[in-house]
Structure 1
Amino acid sequence: MSFKLLSFAAAAAMALGLNAAHAAEGELVIGTEGAYPPFSMADANGNVTGFDADVGNMLCDKLELKCRFVVQAFDGLIPALNAKRFDVIISGMSITDERRKQIDFSVGYAEFANQFVAKKGSDLAGITDIEALKAATDGLRIGVQGGTTHAAYVEKNMPNAQLVTYDTLDQMQIDLSSGRLDASFSDLSAQEDFLAKPEGADFALVDVVIDSTSDATLGEGLGVGIRKDDTELKDKINTALCELVADGSMGKSSETWFKSDISRACQ
């Protein structure tokens, strides 16, 4: 490539406010789980839909880039990001201090509640107090998705529970419905999705809502995961996210997928 062509490519990248690695192909490559409805669902052809896909596509529109999604198991997202398999993570990922040791995050753009699901009529199902819930989990098999804040929360706050981790939400729900678990812990939207299925008919939410203010392990809301050295990309994403929240686009998407506005104003 001639010097003129190199200079043109560099100028184009600067115009987008992104480094050349991101702008070279005119696309933003996004890592997402693809198996966590309604955040992220991938079909057999790799097409991704859900709230995470909406966030990614809205960001790409703002940055005037094409989106390309890469499906990756949740607990492998951060290693894959740092290995430069993709540019950012958008996968319902909560901002936590532990994750900040490995990657950087955008501003928080959404937050959600978390709840347990247990068999109807069980001792857990009737609990309404968080301390009683913690005590009641002693010796019980609690299902969580591996690598999540839910796993960290149970491990820290319910040390006498038998923590059972799964690669995907579907695997956890299969074991719950078949009686191999006493309860599951996840975000409210995922739990409601399970309860709406035929296999969730005999289960109910435990009436204790656990939000991100309850414990540091649950993080500071959802953020876009970014490599620590991608400061220009982070700045552009932050600007775009704040605009999407302010103009109502983020809230409109969350209403579609969650039937409520989980968007979070920039702080």
Structure 2
Amino acid sequence: MKILKKAAVCASFALLGLGSVNAATMKIGTEGGYPPWSMVDATGTVTGFDADVGAALCAQLGNDCQFVVQAFDSLIPSLNANRFDLIISGMSYTPERAKRVNFSIPYAVEDAIFVLPANSDLIKATDSESIFKGLDGKTIGVQGGTTHGAYLNKVAPNTTVRNYETLDQMQIDLDAGRLDGTFADLTSQSRFLHKMENNEYALTEYVIKGSSDPETLGYGIAVGIHPDNAELKAKVDTALCELINNGTMKTASEKWFDIDIANYDVCKK
């Protein structure tokens, strides 16, 4: 309970130093435009699963936290320029990213899915091969800098992949008919459909498992850490396992996604 209370206080800190912080403050880079992972509310406060994880992690480490919001594809360069201490932004741990940044243990696992016209034959496809072949010549929106664009380029080379800075921009274009579909995390796609005012689009029945292509989709969601800070990585790994084992990660994921995406296997001894 002590951790959760402190996490709640830390999660309410405003952006860019607007909250009350001290010398032990840990700065966390996050996107702020990827609901329900990371959002900025009307008061300028970071909310979402990433905010709750960051707050709980800081509390476990004995630090206050301060969220720094910027575009997803600029997070790793900014971390390596020491503009903040950690990245917590629904970032998948991939071999390619690991060349530029160190990663914590993958504390959460997330699958991906397409949103396509509800009358499309691809909605009921039973395998990824059928979906990818059916997307030949189509334009699919993804968020720039994520694993989803790289994955589509690999498995569906005849599909046009259009990158967007935020999910909101991507979903506006889909709703306006400028896209044939979108590809993103299952949780984010489900949230988008839930708030749509029409039934013209639907989730595909086939889900792309996050573990289906680790080389591209990664090993799970992890914290980004400066490659020269091995000591901080060790502390973060220990703290994340504590949050997984004591149920904090489960509580946060069920709060925002209605499902438990905590990665229990990574902390088994």
TM-score (norm 1): 0.89
The code of the aligned residue for 1:165 comes to N
Tell me what 2:8 maps to: none
Tell me what 2:125 maps to: 127
Tell me what 1:42 maps to: 40
Q: Residue 30 of structure 2 is aligned with which of 24, 29, 32?
A: 32
Q: Residue 109 of structure 1 is aligned with which of 107, 110, 115?
A: 107
Structure-1 separation of matches of 2:37 and 2:250:
14
Structure-1 separation of matches of 2:198 and 2:205:
16
Structure-1 separation of matches of 2:169 and 2:46:
19
The code of the aligned residue for 2:227 comes to K
Structure-2 separation of matches of 1:87 and 1:217:
25
Tell me what 1:165 maps to: 163
The code of the aligned residue for 2:223 comes to V
CA offsets, 1:215-239, max 9 Å, x none? Answer: 1211000000001011111111111
Deviation at 1:200, TM superposition (A): 5.5
Unaligned runs of 5+ in 2: 1-21
Deviation at 1:199, TM superposition (A): 4.2
SS in 1 for 2:154: helix
Higher deviation after alignment, 233-242 or 191-200: 191-200
Does 2:248 align with 1:249? Answer: yes
The code of the aligned residue for 2:245 comes to A
SS in 2 for 1:196: helix
Q: Residue 189 of structure 1 is aligned with which of 187, 190, 198?
A: 187
Higher deviation after alignment, 36-45 or 255-264: 36-45
Structure-2 separation of matches of 1:200 and 1:153:
29
Structure-1 separation of matches of 2:77 and 2:199:
37
Tell me what 1:6 maps to: none
Instruction: Tell me how large the CA RMSD over aligned residues is.
Output: 1.4
CA offsets, 1:75-108, max 9 Å, x none? Answer: 1111111111111000000000000010000001
Tell me what 1:148 maps to: 146
Deviation at 1:46, TM superposition (A): 2.8
Q: Which has the larger radius of gyration?
A: 1
SS in 1 for 2:26: strand
Q: Is 1:194–1:200's contact at 8 Å kept on the other side of the alignment? A: no
Give runs of aligned pairs for residues 51-70 of structure 1, distance below 5 A: 51-70=49-68
The code of the aligned residue for 2:196 comes to P
Structure-1 separation of matches of 2:116 and 2:92:
24
The code of the aligned residue for 1:62 comes to Q
SS in 2 for 1:143: strand
**How many residue pairs get matched?**
245
Deviation at 1:262, TM superposition (A): 0.2
Structure-1 separation of matches of 2:105 and 2:226:
14
Deviation at 1:208, TM superposition (A): 1.1
Question: Percent sequence identity over matched residues?
Answer: 55
Tell me what 2:220 maps to: 221
Deviation at 1:164, TM superposition (A): 0.4
Q: Is 1:254–1:263's contact at 8 Å kept on the other side of the alignment? A: yes
Q: Is 1:95–1:222's contact at 8 Å kept on the other side of the alignment? A: yes
Tell me what 1:230 maps to: 229
SS in 1 for 2:182: strand
Structure-1 separation of matches of 2:198 and 2:227:
41
Q: Is 1:36–1:190's contact at 8 Å kept on the other side of the alignment? A: yes
Tell me what 1:86 maps to: 84
Structure-2 separation of matches of 1:264 and 1:49:
21
Deviation at 1:34, TM superposition (A): 0.3
Q: 1:64 to 1:150 in 2, by over 3 A?
A: same
